[in-house]
Amino acid sequence: MVVVMQERATDEQVQQVIAQLTQMGFDVHRSTGALRTVLGAVGGNRQFDTRLLEVFEGVQEVVRITEPYKLAGRTFKPENTVVSVGDVRIGGDEVIVMAGPCSAESEEQVEASAAAVRRAGAKVLRGGAFKPRSSPYSFQGMGEEGLRLLKSAADRHNLKLVSEVMDLSQIELISKYADILQVGARNMQNFTLLRELGRSRTPILLKRGISATIEEWLLSAEYILAGGNMNVVLCERGIRTFESYTRNTLDISAIPVIHKLSHLPIVADPSHGSGRRDMVPSMARAAVAAGADGLIIEVHTDPDHALSDGAQSLYPNQFDGLMAELRIIAPAIGRAICLEPVTRRGWGV
């Protein structure tokens, strides 16, 4: 930590800050310039609240010189993390596409969606059984029956399954069915939930909160990593800005920033990131071009009658077209999409 004193700070004020730092376990180096004094403090606690010193008399600015997270950072682990879900490797050479309906609605819908996304090249089926809805009057999901349908369809089509867990009471149930547990944007700072997921070994898809800074997002990943679960995949899904034409603003720049700061893989969710079906393909292409390790996309065989998020779900033929475009783009950054020949049917059947 570096404490910059004001130009007019008195020596007494400087001494008070030094005393406080010392008491907190820091080693302090004082550097007195012509205009002002700067104090360097090393050791001490990574989690120190810098504001505690900012409010001291005579202090101009306090600067943290270590990131507040550790396990999630490149300093701790320079090489990329690859999260393996069976034979699906997220963070490796292949861009992994996860797709499927917002929520399970019926056996037919789930089966048709799984077949469609597998045919186009997806490796993971997405689908919710418990839905967090901003209104108490909206459809709240099928519950365990939905999970059963999703798992069964995923198995039939050789897909892994990702599904959202909303509360720690649901972890055990959902883990029985899903290969990846999704933490939604609204739960990104539900620390009770994160801590519990750290005790699991199931891969976690951690969505960024709509107003979370990248640092806060990595701190939330740290909660899971600190518990011993190193299988964390980050998911950018749009931040809230002043622009309201799109539901959220998909922060494409978070992709290269995460690759710089962290070893964890990052995927993008252009469906929630734009909120409108007609914007999804553009944003999906942009995310892959920017270096995303994967995508998670809502696809519905009949979006006009979907019980949730129909407006942002692609029709299967739109998804086919998008996958064809992505196959052109991925090589520009040394990646591939869907390496195996999916047109040859027969997997897992």
Binders in 200-219 for its own copies, by CB under 8 A: 209-211, 213-216, 219
* x-marked contacts with its own copies along 266-295 as a string, rule CB under 8 A: -------xxxxxxx--xx-xxxxxxx----
Considering only residues 150 through 179, tell me which ones interact with its own copies, judged by CB under 8 A.
166-169
CA distance 220 to 72: 9
Minimum gap (Å) between residue 348 Cβ and its own copies: 30
CA distance 334 to 114: 28
* Nearest of 243, 252, 204, 208 to residue 227 by alpha carbon: 204
Minimum gap (Å) between residue 341 Cβ and its own copies: 21
The answer to whether 171 and 181 have CB atoms below 8 angstroms apart is yes
Cβ closest to its own copies, residue 109 vs residue 158: 109
Q: At 287, list the tokens.
A: 């995310």
Minimum gap (Å) between residue 123 Cβ and its own copies: 20
Q: What angle do CA 112, 115, 120 make, to 5 degrees?
A: 125
Considering only residues 232 through 271, tell me which ones interact with its own copies, judged by CB under 8 A.
239-247, 249-257, 260
Partners of 249 in the beta sheet?
A: 239
Give kind and range of the element (H or E) at residue 338. Answer: none
Considering only residues 134 through 153, tell me which ones interact with its own copies, judged by CB under 8 A.
134-138
Interface with its own copies, residue 349, by CB under 8 A: no
Number of residues lying near its own copies (CB under 8 A): 112
Interface with its own copies, residue 75, by CB under 8 A: yes
Which of 44, 77, 132, 342 touches its own copies (CB under 8 A)? 132
Interface with its own copies, residue 63, by CB under 8 A: yes
Interface with its own copies, residue 325, by CB under 8 A: yes
Pairing of strands 124-126, 94-100: parallel
* x-marked contacts with its own copies along 34-53 as a string, rule CB under 8 A: xxx-x-x-x--xxx-x-xx-
**Coil, helix or strand at residue 321:** helix
CA distance 81 to 94: 14
Interface with its own copies, residue 326, by CB under 8 A: yes
Considering only residues 109 through 128, tell me which ones interact with its own copies, judged by CB under 8 A.
none
Which of 77, 89, 156, 195 touches its own copies (CB under 8 A)? 195
Q: How far is CA 312 from CA 71, 246, 278, 305, in A?
A: 35, 11, 8, 12
CA distance 127 to 120: 17
